[in-house]
Chains A and B, each alone.
Chain A
Amino acid sequence: MTDRYVEIVNLVKAYPNPLGDAIRVVDGFNLTVRKGEVIGVIGHSGCGKSTVLTMVAGLNDITSGDVVVDGKVTDGPGPDRAVVFQAPCLLPWMTAFGNVMLGVKRVYPHGTKQQRKDICEYYLSLVGLADAMHKYPREMSGGMQQRVGIARAIALKPKMLLLDEPFGRLDSLTRMDLQEVILGILDREKITTMVITHDVDEAVYMSDRICMMTNGPRARVGQVLEIPFERPRIRREVLEHELYYDLRGCLIDFLEKFDKHKHPDENAPDCKPEPEPSSEAGSLAPSFGVYTDDALSGSPLTLAEIGGGA
């Protein structure tokens, strides 16, 4: 069960086209996520990443296919799949505390007032807003607002956390801060997470696996790349890790191949980062694998099989 905690099966999003066949923006998206795993989704802008995420969240109708979370087929949105959008989407007439409380009231209907208050305060201090709890969104910076959005999502105790380019609108320093905040929380709470990004470094730093999407229309999973770094991660160590640039290169190669002008249905590119078979890397090597689209259901291919065999 924990290996297939979230299953996205043959997900399709089609928009009706009065002049011909329906336009299938996403066509046959398959992904299985382990419990507590952080899965990054990366792809060119407009490829349908957000469409997939909003379908998983239930905010966008699914044309066909299923999203199964913890053994249950989802139907519509719900607090079991919390979303953090690119824009903070806070309710501007409520304070940070009020925004978090709105969700907490829904999820803990039987809690006492004090319990709910404690929960809100706990999550707000978790994202570093202990001193700004009673501020209104307009009095907060973009980064602070996004922290509230994160607190609001996590306070729901969701089965799955959906992050839709959560740092897309923030400057790079704030972005790094917030990456740490989220990773800190995820290490503690072990929430299954799907994070959409178009930032290669962010994807590598945050994810356990990265799902690379082909270009739309008819977007699907191109490749899945396992990121072998241990958690909790320390940015410096990750950046200095010998595999870091190989993984990064692998992602960039993929994205370059799918640059806008190329045909989306082209075969998935080969991905062959060359690991240095050192003693340290050796321990990582078995889990450092690459899936191809077809190999999704199978066991991950290890680098030794792909790269080492070349």
Chain B
Amino acid sequence: MLKNLKLALLKAIDLTALGFLEPYVRLAYGEEPEKQLRKIGQFTLIPLLVILAGLAVWGVLISPMIKTKSGELPSPGVVASAAGSLHQFSVREGNKEKAYVATGEDRSAWLADVEAELEAIGPEVEAADKAVQSARADEAESKSERIAPLQARVDELKDTMKAERAAKQTALKEHAAELPAGDNPQRAAYLGELAGLEKWVELQEAEIDKIEDRIKLIRDEKDAAVMAALAQQTAAAEREQYLKKMAEQLGEDSREARVADGQAKLDDAKAKFFSAEGAAAYNAARKVISAEERLAKTEESTYAKPATLYFQIQRSILCVFSGFFIGSAIAIPIGVLCGLSSTFMGAMTPFIALFKPVSPIVWLPIALIVASALIPDPDKHWLTQWMWELPLIGQYKINPAFLASAVTVALCSLWATMVNTALGVASVDKDHLNVAKVLRLGFWSRLFKIVLPSSLPLVFAGLRISLGVGWMVLIAAELLSSSEGIGKFVWDQFNNGASDSFAKMMVVVFIVGAIGLLLDRIMVVFQRLVSFEGSIAAV
């Protein structure tokens, strides 16, 4: 039993190409502990150390070196806290969404909790405000202490310079009166003296500027204590804001409250209608109808949740797979035909050669124009309406920008699959084709029993490359098409320019990398599953 588990684990590790886990499994079964420990050192500890070293280099060396308008390049700690705040944002938005639809006992209990928290946070916010004030005061004090001597020096320099310049100017003016006429050495010397004076003034001014720059630098310096206090203040304020909103969502703004309100209005309208007579009855009846409609809408309504990063990640993944499937659906049949017929291959070669190098940046605007032309109004078009009704996918509100991004992904990623499929189909083992010949298999039978199975490993190698390319293309496409997703998140942060935008963009770097890695691993597993030789595909 245990041995079977071990074998299953080892097989799974081999399949997913996560070889570094193997020594742990073997160690757990007490198999050559020394060797396994050595392997753990080699394949786990050393990579971990390298990662730590990389983080250290980033935080200690690189970050302080790169100073930009948006601040220093965020260090690992800052990026991690930005990731934390992104997570917090989505958790809070999720809570708001749930709070809006909460009903009955749940709602009142929750509301009580929130209100208690809100009360508790009041002093916290005040304390944070005070902390900021005192930190600012401390900062101002310490800065003025540092600036005062510099300022004194500047003033002194200015005074002496002015006095000296005035004295020298007067001397020169007096000297001018004594100069003999004509082109003579004395007049040349006079010119020299005047130039000397001006040069001296320039030098003095430069000196003053230098000190003033230093003063400015000190003034601009960001004090760590103030920054920390500010961060705390922001966090407290955000939390207060959130709790207030939650109280609203659970209280008067909750769906239950609004439905009750609507119901009351409806009852009122009905009562009026029942008692109204003559022409007034018509108007009263109309009010009843509209109250009914409004009530129905309120009953269906949900919280208009802003896009959280998790939602954007999910939408990006949906988009990349949509594009990937569109691309594969085009690439595989064409690839098979190319592999089967050299005539077809010859006919396709110009297209492949011409379109393969086209950048996603070129495809996207074209795709966007076409998609918008086909679906001018997503709220009314049957295709978008149909997709919005779909289970699971519906919530992502597929729109023309999404479709354009997916098509761009498809157009950029299908080439690898197409070329690999053609190669796979064209290079089926002659022996296997001989089997088909001896059995006199028909075209379809030969295709599905011999040609396709035999080319599957190469097809999947192509699909793996395609998915990787598609993921890279997608981020750029979303960034340009403003299709809600990771790319748009980056673009929003770039335009937003808040204090933590830079760090949030860095968070995305890791998210994109991790998802790309995951997609590649998934494809590796598929590739291995179809690899009939049992050979280990390149990782």
Beta-carbon contact of B431 and A77 below 8 Å: no
Q: Could you tell me the distance between the alpha carbons of A91 and B434 in the complex, rounded to whole angstroms?
A: 11
Partner of A78, one of B438, B532, B533: B438
Residues 28-68 of A, flagged 1 when their CB comes within 8 A of B and 0 if not, give 00000000000000000000000000000111000000000
Residues 498-535 of B, flagged 1 when their CB comes within 8 A of A and 0 if not, give 00000000000000000000000000000000001110
Contacts of A77 in B (CB 8 A): 434, 437-438, 440
Counting CB contacts under 8 A, is A92 at the interface?
A: yes
Q: Could you tell me the distance between the alpha carbons of A107 and B380 in the complex, rounded to whole angstroms?
A: 57
Residues 59-95 of A, flagged 1 when their CB comes within 8 A of B and 0 if not, give 1000000000000000011110111010101011110
Residues 138-163 of A, flagged 1 when their CB comes within 8 A of B and 0 if not, give 10000000000000000010000000
Contacts of A103 in B (CB 8 A): 439
Counting CB contacts under 8 A, is A262 at the interface?
A: no
In the complex, which residue of chain B has the Cβ closest to the Cβ of A83?
A: B438
Partner of B437, one of A59, A102, A136, A138: A59
Counting CB contacts under 8 A, is A261 at the interface?
A: no
Q: Could you tell me the distance between the alpha carbons of A19 and B462 in the complex, rounded to whole angstroms?
A: 43
Contacts of A76 in B (CB 8 A): 437
Q: How distant is B1 from chain A, measured CB to nearest CB, in Å?
A: 23
Counting CB contacts under 8 A, is B38 at the interface?
A: no
Query: What is the interface residue range for chain A against chain B?
Result: 20 to 34
In the complex, which residue of chain A has the Cβ closest to the Cβ of B453?
A: A93
Partner of B532, one of A57, A85, A93, A106: A93
Beta-carbon contact of B431 and A102 below 8 Å: no
Contacts of B431 in A (CB 8 A): 85, 87, 89
On whether A58 and B532 interact (CB within 8 A), knowing A85-B431, A93-B453, the answer reads: no
Q: How distant is B459 from chain A, measured CB to nearest CB, in Å?
A: 13
Q: Could you tell me the distance between the alpha carbons of A78 and B440 in the complex, rounded to whole angstroms?
A: 6
Contacts of B454 in A (CB 8 A): 91, 93
Q: How distant is B436 from chain A, measured CB to nearest CB, in Å?
A: 9
Contacts of B440 in A (CB 8 A): 77-79, 106
Q: How distant is A179 from chain B, measured CB to nearest CB, in Å?
A: 23
Counting CB contacts under 8 A, is B11 at the interface?
A: no
Q: How distant is A23 from chain B, measured CB to nearest CB, in Å?
A: 22
In the complex, which residue of chain B has the Cβ closest to the Cβ of A54?
A: B434
Contacts of B437 in A (CB 8 A): 58-59, 76-77
Beta-carbon contact of A102 and B432 below 8 Å: no
Q: How distant is A265 from chain B, measured CB to nearest CB, in Å?
A: 33
Q: Could you tell me the distance between the alpha carbons of A83 and B439 in the complex, rounded to whole angstroms?
A: 10
Counting CB contacts under 8 A, is B465 at the interface?
A: no
- Which chain B residues (439-469) contact chain A, with CB distance < 8 Å? 439-441, 449-450, 453-454, 456
- Which chain A residues (88-113) contact chain B, with CB distance < 8 Å? 89, 91-94, 102-103, 106
Q: Could you tell me the distance between the alpha carbons of A77 and B450 in the complex, rounded to whole angstroms?
A: 17
Counting CB contacts under 8 A, is B48 at the interface?
A: no
Q: Could you tell me the distance between the alpha carbons of A81 and B437 in the complex, rounded to whole angstroms?
A: 11
Beta-carbon contact of B438 and A91 below 8 Å: no
Residues 108-124 of A, flagged 1 when their CB comes within 8 A of B and 0 if not, give 00000000000000000
Beta-carbon contact of A59 and B435 below 8 Å: no
Q: Could you tell me the distance between the alpha carbons of A93 and B459 in the complex, rounded to whole angstroms?
A: 15
Residues 61-72 of B, flagged 1 when their CB comes within 8 A of A and 0 if not, give 000000000000
In the complex, which residue of chain B has the Cβ closest to the Cβ of A107?
A: B439
- Which chain A residues (119-136) contact chain B, with CB distance < 8 Å? 136
Q: Could you tell me the distance between the alpha carbons of A125 and B456 in the complex, rounded to whole angstroms?
A: 31
Q: Could you tell me the distance between the alpha carbons of A85 and B456 in the complex, rounded to whole angstroms?
A: 25
On whether A89 and B449 interact (CB within 8 A), knowing A79-B439, A79-B440, the answer reads: no
Contacts of A89 in B (CB 8 A): 431-432, 434-435
Contacts of A82 in B (CB 8 A): 438
Contacts of A156 in B (CB 8 A): 439
In the complex, which residue of chain B has the Cβ closest to the Cβ of A137?
A: B532
Beta-carbon contact of A59 and B532 below 8 Å: no
Partner of B438, one of A57, A87, A93, A94: A57
Contacts of B432 in A (CB 8 A): 89, 91
Contacts of A78 in B (CB 8 A): 438, 440
Q: Could you tell me the distance between the alpha carbons of A92 and B441 in the complex, rounded to whole angstroms?
A: 18
Q: How distant is B191 from chain A, measured CB to nearest CB, in Å?
A: 95
On whether A91 and B435 interact (CB within 8 A), knowing A102-B449, A138-B534, the answer reads: yes
Beta-carbon contact of B533 and A92 below 8 Å: yes
Q: How distant is A49 from chain B, measured CB to nearest CB, in Å?
A: 17
Q: How distant is B514 from chain A, measured CB to nearest CB, in Å?
A: 33
Q: Could you tell me the distance between the alpha carbons of A285 and B450 in the complex, rounded to whole angstroms?
A: 50
Q: Could you tell me the distance between the alpha carbons of A93 and B438 in the complex, rounded to whole angstroms?
A: 19
Q: Could you tell me the distance between the alpha carbons of A82 and B440 in the complex, rounded to whole angstroms?
A: 11
Residues 256-295 of B, flagged 1 when their CB comes within 8 A of A and 0 if not, give 0000000000000000000000000000000000000000
Contacts of A57 in B (CB 8 A): 438
Contacts of B533 in A (CB 8 A): 92, 138
Beta-carbon contact of A81 and B438 below 8 Å: yes
In the complex, which residue of chain B has the Cβ closest to the Cβ of A89?
A: B431
Contacts of B441 in A (CB 8 A): 106
Contacts of B453 in A (CB 8 A): 91, 93-94
Q: Could you tell me the distance between the alpha carbons of A138 and B532 in the complex, rounded to whole angstroms?
A: 8
Beta-carbon contact of A136 and B532 below 8 Å: yes
Beta-carbon contact of A59 and B439 below 8 Å: no
In the complex, which residue of chain A has the Cβ closest to the Cβ of B442?
A: A106
Q: Could you tell me the distance between the alpha carbons of A79 and B434 in the complex, rounded to whole angstroms?
A: 11
Q: Could you tell me the distance between the alpha carbons of A61 and B532 in the complex, rounded to whole angstroms?
A: 31
Q: How distant is B534 from chain A, measured CB to nearest CB, in Å?
A: 5
- Which chain B residues (414-448) contact chain A, with CB distance < 8 Å? 431-432, 434-435, 437-441
Beta-carbon contact of B435 and A106 below 8 Å: no
Contacts of A81 in B (CB 8 A): 438
Q: Could you tell me the distance between the alpha carbons of A58 and B533 in the complex, rounded to whole angstroms?
A: 29
Q: How distant is B430 from chain A, measured CB to nearest CB, in Å?
A: 9
Binding site for A on B (CB under 8 A): 431-432, 434-435, 437-441, 449-450, 453-454, 456, 532-534
* 7 cross-chain pairs, A with B, having the tightest CB-CB distances, nearest first: A89-B431, A92-B532, A93-B532, A93-B453, A77-B437, A138-B534, A106-B439
Q: What are 28 A-B interface contacts by the 8 Å CB criterion?
A: A57-B438, A58-B437, A58-B438, A59-B438, A76-B437, A77-B437, A77-B438, A78-B438, A78-B440, A83-B434, A85-B431, A89-B432, A89-B435, A91-B432, A92-B532, A92-B533, A93-B453, A93-B454, A93-B456, A93-B532, A102-B435, A102-B439, A106-B439, A106-B440, A106-B441, A138-B532, A138-B533, A156-B439
11 further A-B pairs in the complex, CB-CB below 8 A; given A79-B440, A89-B431, A89-B432: A57-B438, A58-B438, A77-B434, A77-B438, A89-B434, A91-B435, A91-B450, A92-B533, A93-B456, A106-B439, A138-B532
